[in-house]
Amino acid sequence: MKKTGVFSAAYWRAVCGELKKPNRLALAALICALSVVVGGIYIPLSGSLQIHFTFFVVALGCAVYGPVTGMLVAAVADLLNYFLFLGGYPYFPGYMLSEMAAALIYGLFFYRQKITVVRIFCAKALVNLIPNILLGALWAKLLYGKGYIADLWIRSIKNILLLPLEVVLLAGFFGLMIPILSRMKLLSYHGEEELQRLSAGACVYPVLGLSCALGAGCCLYFIFFEKETALLFSLLCGLLLAAAATLLIFGALRRRKAAPK
């Protein structure tokens, strides 16, 4: 599969062309059904906060058929999930928008691209930030009257803590599925070294390093806008940056040592 940039006309012609391919539509129907089934399985935390596992199948599907088909699948899956599991409650379209936003992000990062740990981390971080945190807190305020800022903090803590684990699991999942889908001509070919980097043992250090770097970036907000706690968060930012550098360097050395001569 030829790689094209997301800002090129050829990319979007290819994305829209996926809707005309019978094998892609068959896969989209399968992903939709799996999303509905997996969407009914979750771990409740508190109130409207839950841990879901649909991001595995959504990300994989969007890597194959792109963001446009992915958003359509997300919309249909959300409707089916409502009628099958939540029919006794009034329908709220905000959650459909969240699912479509997640599919758009996954499609933009994975479709016709070599799937790497950094790409997976960036995609999952954006999904956690936009649909899960920002939009999720907004929908909770509109539906349940919750304080937006308070709910935002709760969702932020949950999504930030889960991010490294989700990225490692998603990378391992892609590492298992890419060879199968490559043989079916559904995903671009990845070399043995590229697949090795997606394994849990190989990606845990870069993922933790990137997570620490992200945490250091979050500390900058408090350094510049919360003067009372600037010193505390300056120290925390320095510690996180040091941890990020250590983990990334250690991961690079470990990968270099494990590379075939």
CA nearest neighbour of 29 among 77, 63, 68, 83: 77
Can you tell me which residue has the tokens 């929908």?
139
Does the pLDDT of residue 261 top 80, yes or no?
Answer: no
pLDDT in tens, 183-223: 988 998 888 889 988 988 889 999 999 999 999 998 888 88
Q: Give the Cα separation of 66 and 103 in Å (integer).
A: 9
**Burial level of 41, CB count in 10 A (0-12/13-18/19+)?**
exposed
Let me know: does 104 contact 67? Beta carbons within 8 Å: yes
Average pLDDT, rounded, for the chain = 88
Does the pLDDT of residue 48 top 80, yes or no?
Answer: no
Q: Give the Cα separation of 171 and 119 in Å (integer).
A: 10
| pTM of the entire predicted model | 0.91
Residue 106's contacts (CB-CB under 8 Å, 6 or more residues apart) are 55, 58, 59, 62, 63, 67, 70, 123, 127
3-class secondary-structure state, position 2 = coil
Share of the chain above pLDDT 70, in %: 93
Q: Within a 10 A sphere around the Cβ of 194, how many other Cβ atoms?
A: 15
